[in-house]
Amino acid sequence: MINASKVCGILMFSALIISPNISAQKMTQCDTSTCVNYFEQYRKAAKRGHTQAMATLGQMYYHAYGTEKNEKLALKFLKKASRSKDAAAQFKAGYIYLTSEEYKDIDDGIEYLEKAADNEFKGANFVLGMVHLDKKYGRQDIKQADKYLAKSYEAKFEQMPEAVQFIETTMTLDAATFPKLFAEMQKKPLQKDDDGSINWPTGNIEIITISSPSLETTFDQQLLVFRKPIKSVGTRFHGKNCVQRMTCVSVGIADGSAFANTFLNTFSGANVSN
């Protein structure tokens, strides 16, 4: 399988293409006094109405970070953040609805993923495409799958080569069945490697690994912004999306690739892993 942290963006500097490989900090279960303290600070900041605090608090409930795991409260705060168009919160809420045993609701999951896709959250189009592609979600619609996967391909999402390989293994990928995806593939063809796998062309891409701040550093940066109460629920960074804000780091779901891999690994049908 393609590494979830592989090639997450392309920046052009003169004739050189640099593809930064960013290792995002992941939130995991934690019950230390430090984690409990961060949880309490975020709980207070969320109460004061900070959208990003709500989004992170929702993740803390989901990952049992500084508190017990509680998907109900995770959804509560992620959905609150979603109302202010926090794309990462929308994506995570959609993911929980699609995968939770207790709160599974495919329609709600698709609704939140569509909101995340509209707000250009990385990975949202890919997961939507897979949900509509795979029969096991009960919403198979090849036309919709084609639409979302074409958008994901156009954005050169990391896992698209594996999705293409899955489609070619289990059905026909041509202009008649997947017209939009097929058209994008003609514009930017994938390359076939010696081992038979297909991948994005590397060309003159230089891979640079960039270490992200520690989880604690990220929390401290965010909490500085949350010190003062605000009058209404919403972001204090009007006109800027999450990627553009230094203090807006969606820990645990900063990269939709991790969740896209979850769906790719559980496709019904042929296994396309290499």
Looking at every residue in the chain, the average pLDDT score rounds to 78
pLDDT of 233 above 80: no
Span 10-19, average pLDDT: 26
Span 165-182, average pLDDT: 94
More confident residue, 224 or 261: 224
pLDDT of 46 above 80: yes
Separation between Cα atoms, residue 3 and residue 1, nearest integer Å: 6
pLDDT at position 231, please? 57
pLDDT of 210 above 60: no
Q: Which of 9-23, 53-67, 81-95, 96-110 has the lowest mean pLDDT?
A: 9-23
**3-state SS record for the chain:** CCCCCCCCCCEEECCEEEEEEEECCCCCCECCHHHHHHHHHHHHHHHCCEHHHHHHHHHHHHHCECCCCCHHHHHHHHHHHHCCCCHHHHHHHHHHHHHCCCCCCHHHHHHHHHHHHHCCCCCHHHHHHHHHHCHHHCCCCHHHHHHHHHHHHHCCCCCHHHHHHHHHHHCCCCCCCCHHHHHHHHHCCCEECCCCCEECCCCCEEEEEEECCCHHHHHHHHHHHCCCCCCCCECCCCCCCHHHCCCCCCCCCCCCHHHHHHHHHCCCCCCCCC
pLDDT of 68 above 90: yes
Residue 248 neighbours by CB under 8 Å, 6+ apart: 52, 222, 235, 237, 242
More confident residue, 157 or 272: 157
pLDDT at position 202, please? 80
Span 204-229, average pLDDT: 75
Per the structure block, which two tokens stand in for 29? 């279960």
- Confidence band for 258, pLDDT divided at 50, 70 and 90: low
Picking from 183, 177, 176, 175, the residue whose alpha carbon sits closest to that of residue 154 is: 183
Q: Supply the pTM of this predicted model.
A: 0.76
pLDDT at position 22, please? 38
pLDDT at position 213, please? 76
Span 207-221, average pLDDT: 76
Using CA atoms, how far residue 242 sits from 121, 150, 161, 238, 250, in Å, is 9, 24, 27, 10, 8
pLDDT at position 41, please? 96
Span 61-90, average pLDDT: 96
| Rg of the chain taking only CA atoms, in angstroms | 19
pLDDT at position 136, please? 86
Per the structure block, which two tokens stand in for 88? 């990462």
Residue 181 neighbours by CB under 8 Å, 6+ apart: 146, 149, 150, 153, 164, 173
Share of the chain above pLDDT 70, in %: 70
Separation between Cα atoms, residue 129 and residue 24, nearest integer Å: 24
Contact 22, 8 (CB under 8 A): yes
Burial of 210 (0-12, 13-18, 19+ CB in 10 A): exposed
Span 70-88, average pLDDT: 95
Contact 166, 146 (CB under 8 A): no
pLDDT of 66 above 70: yes
Span 11-26, average pLDDT: 37
- Confidence band for 43, pLDDT divided at 50, 70 and 90: very high
Span 202-216, average pLDDT: 66
